[in-house]
Amino acid sequence: MTDKNTIEIKYRKTGAVLFSGQYDSLKAAVINAVRQGAHLAKANLVGANLAGAYLVGANLAGAYLVKANLVGANLAGAYLVKANLAGANLAGAHLAKANLSRADLSGADLSGASFCGATIDGAKVNPDDIGGPGHILYALTEEETKMIEKGRES
């Protein structure tokens, strides 16, 4: 049996508590916060291990996710406007219809990440981060996505 500790997710500038509870990991706390509809805007999640986390529709606007591990995380529909994801590992992450306007993705590993229908206006992305083998950054319209899915069914 895993011991549970009080985990607090704090505002990155003042340290004010945005969400807290008894969890065995920060990942479990973040998942539950999102499930409960907590707003984690400007949360300090630097270096957080959120690999494989289900964070659909999360409000992480302005969150500090520098060097966070988001490998395979489901962030579909997440609100990540002005989030700092510099150096984060987003390999294989699902960001369909996420809003990453003005987010900082510099140095982030975006290999295999899906940005289908995502908003990335003004996002800071180094061209080298998306240009190498295995690095994919794409944003398709809903109509284009349906056409591709229809073609796969044929």
pTM of the predicted structure, to 2 decimals: 0.82
Q: What are the tens digits of pLDDT across the range 48-87? A: 999 999 999 999 999 999 999 999 999 999 999 999 999 9
Would you state the pLDDT for residue 100? 93
| Separation between Cα atoms, residue 118 and residue 98, nearest integer Å | 5
Q: Can you list the residues of the chain whose pLDDT is less than 70?
A: 1-2, 127-154
Angle at 152 between CA 147 and CA 154, to 5 degrees: 95
Would you state the pLDDT for residue 153? 58
Would you state the pLDDT for residue 128? 60
Would you state the pLDDT for residue 134? 46
Would you state the pLDDT for residue 133? 47
CATH number of 39-154: 2.160.20.80
Would you state the pLDDT for residue 119? 87
Would you state the pLDDT for residue 49? 98
**Domain positions in the chain:** 39-154
